[in-house]
Amino acid sequence: MQAKQEALDLQLRANEVLEARVYERTRALEEVRHGLEAANAELMRLSTTDSLTQLANRRRFDRLLDEEIRRARRAGSPLSVLLADIDHFKRVNDSYGHPFGDECLRQVAAVLAAHCQRAGDVAARYGGEEFVVLLPGLDAEQAVALAESIRCTIAHLQLQHGEQPVALTISLGVATLTPSLAAPADLLAAADAALYQAKNAGRDQVALAAEVNAGEQTPTLNA
């Protein structure tokens, strides 16, 4: 009986050791899994984020625009897009250098992000000194009002290069989803045409797009 009890105790201790090892191994595997998930999430964030401004990049914006257009069409809700371009940005870079130009881009990005506080709002750097904002649920009038607020805020930024104050302005084109502007390319083309209109009219202003036909060409902007 004593030998059997000793064998049973030995088996119990062996089971406890095995369970402890299994627990530790399971915990280690869970830590590795969580680490991989965090790393993958960070890689996804980096792949969809503009490194300079920390806004969404063009890849992410294009994907979200397509999703929001389909959602707006199903729900019958408004959807607007703002396309914005910093005025005379090449002159800023040439006069004050690219590091200061980068700071201007970050300042503009911060203004855009501050104006995108609702769920679904997305501000993105679309390339160079050009930005785009996705505004689900906003009609043309509301989007123009928001664009004007962005324009005014940027015009009042207190930028300095050394001791020299530097004025910065931005032009914005606004386009809203309509039956003839129901594809991403058409909506962006309309916003681009409105942006050109704002630039051509003297810059530092907001213009609302008229409807354009799919495939209609828009003029090339001069920053």
**Catalytic annotation, residues:** 129
Q: In whole angstroms, give the CA distance from residue 141 to residue 119.
A: 19
Residue 123 sits at φ, ψ, to 5 deg, of: -105, 135
Contacts of 187 (CB under 8 A, 6+ apart): 65, 69, 81, 175, 177, 181
Cα distances (Å, whole numbers) of residue 101 to 35, 123, 127, 130, 205: 37, 19, 14, 13, 21
Q: What share of the chain is helix, strand, coil (3-state, %, to 5)?
A: 55, 20, 25
Q: In whole angstroms, give the CA distance from residue 169 to residue 86.
A: 6
Contacts of 204 (CB under 8 A, 6+ apart): 87, 151, 155, 169, 170, 171
